[in-house]
Each structure stands twice: as C-alpha cells, then as structure tokens.
Amino acid sequence: MTHPDRPRNHNTGKYEPTQAVADRAAAAARLKAQNPAMTYRQLAAAVGYSNPGDAWRAVQRCRETALREAGAELIESEARQLDDMFAVALDILERDHIMVSHGRVVCDGDGQPLRDDGPKLAALREMRQIRESYRKLYGADQPAKVEHSGGVKYELVGVDPQDVA
C-alpha cells in the first residue's frame, strides 16, 4: 500500500516525504524552536496537523535529518583533513632523502650522498594509519569477532573444600 504524501524511494524501499510534507515538517520544527513552551497540540493546530502526534513525529523527523546532515558534514570535514595529511605523506614518500649523521651528509666511497629510507618508511606508516582512519570514518572495517570457548575455573584460596559442600 502506498502512502499518498510519501512516495516510495526505489533505492531504499522506504517512504520519502513529498516537498510539501517536508516543508510543513520544517515549519513545525522552526515554530517549535522559536516557541519551546508551545504544546504539540498548539503546534498541530498552527501548522495544520490533525493531531499532536503527527506534529511531534514531524519535529522528530526534522531533528533526525538535521543530525544526519550534521554527521555527514563532520565526516566530510574529517575526510578533507585526512586527504591533506595523505597528500603530505605522499609528497614525503616521493622525495629522495639524503642520510645525515651529526649534522653532516653521509657519503659512499665515491663521495656520493647515501639515501635515507627512514623518512619514506615513516611516510608509508603514516599513509597506512591514514587509510585505517578512512576505513573507520566510513565504517568500512568489519567488527572483530571474538570467540570464547572453554569454561571458567574457580579456585578457593584459604577455604577447605569440605567446608563449602
């Protein structure tokens, strides 16, 4: 059965509000925010809902949408920061680094500076950590399964087992 004001989203299978329904819910949420003491019965009458429960559900949907949008903005901001860090680590990885010891360039027998792989390895570690952060941010990591088998053994210290029975 289809709801006349909420067509079904073919991607999720859930009902989605029409623009008119969403606008009325937003108006209810704005009115409630401006007048926190207003009852849902008053809110329903002011915005045109048939009962206070519909007004309350409309305000709740707006709250949930706002939280989802704020969460998406936060994830996007975190992802941009991770992108910037990854770009810096990649830049370090692609550079050649010379080995320095006690403030002097270390050279081979022919007088050529030796390359230092330490900064590249550190950049690779950082890139791996950043990728792990991406996976956590987007929920791509599967939760770890912990299995437990066996029993629990209790040991009574300082008590005669005959006294317990």
Tell me what pLDDT residue 145 has.
Answer: 74
Q: What is the reported pLDDT for 2? A: 47
3 pLDDT above the threshold of 90: no
Residue bearing the bigger pLDDT, 164 or 116: 116
Residue 96 has pLDDT above 80, yes or no: yes
pLDDT digits (tens, 9 = 90+) for 32-86: 999 999 999 999 999 999 999 999 999 999 999 998 899 899 999 999 999 999 9
Who has greater pLDDT, 145 or 76? Answer: 76
What pLDDT sits at residue 151? 75
pLDDT at 163 > cutoff 50: yes
The average pLDDT across 107-117 equals 95
Helix H, strand E, coil C: the string for the chain is: CCECCECECCCCCCECCCHHHHHHHHHHHHHHHHCCCCCHHHHHHHHCCCCHHHHHHHHHHHHHHHHHHHHHHHHHHHHHHHHHHHHHHHHHHHCCCECEECCEECECCCCCECECCHHHHHHHHHHHHHHHHHHHHHCCCCCCCCCCCCCCCCCCCCCCHHHHC
* pLDDT surpasses 90 at 147: no
